[in-house]
Chain A
Amino acid sequence: AIQMTQSPSSLSASVGDRVTITCRASQAIRNDLYWYQQKPGKAPKLLIYGASSLQSGVPSRFSGSGSGTDFTLTISSLQPEDFATYYCLQNYNYPPTFGPGTKVDIK
């Protein structure tokens, strides 16, 4: 199975900060990469599909980029509601595999 890693595992940031989270695949996955946001006690929410396409209804401060093995999720100006854990997911090879998550909390 393809292994997904994320860095950092956690970060502290302030409202208004630009935040970048990295996801790396153990082998090339083209752009078959998804980003999910999960708030404590809640179900995950789809943010990005196809590595860079914004899911309908998701604020434009979220963006995704990358192809092959290296991907990034960027929040251009962190808002209070963005403090959460972010997971990447690959669907290029069976089985689909999630990254371990990046927790974003308040500095």
Chain B
Amino acid sequence: GAVVSQHPSRVICKSGTSVKIECRSLDFQATTMFWYRQFPKQSLMLMATSNEGSKATYEQGVEKDKFLINHASLTLSTLTVTSAHPEDSSFYICSARPSSGGGTSPLHFGNGTRLTVT
């Protein structure tokens, strides 16, 4: 089945530093990838849609200058949390859908990245 690899799985950083999270589709190409954030006891919140070769589309309330997204190839998207603060501590999850699957194919999720900002 479709596999999405996300790295790192856990990161602790100091306030003010930047953290990069990678999301790779291992056995399929993904024109589009999605980045979600999940706070404890809450559901997934879509942050942005990452589009290969073009700018990401951000959801309302998500700062594009703080959460930098790069989708340089059909198998890799990165999310960089810049100048991280404790309130950015959360569970970040990427997902992707095979480009060949059409609009009805399911999303496959990475294993998530637990970010803790001290």
| A and B physically associate | no
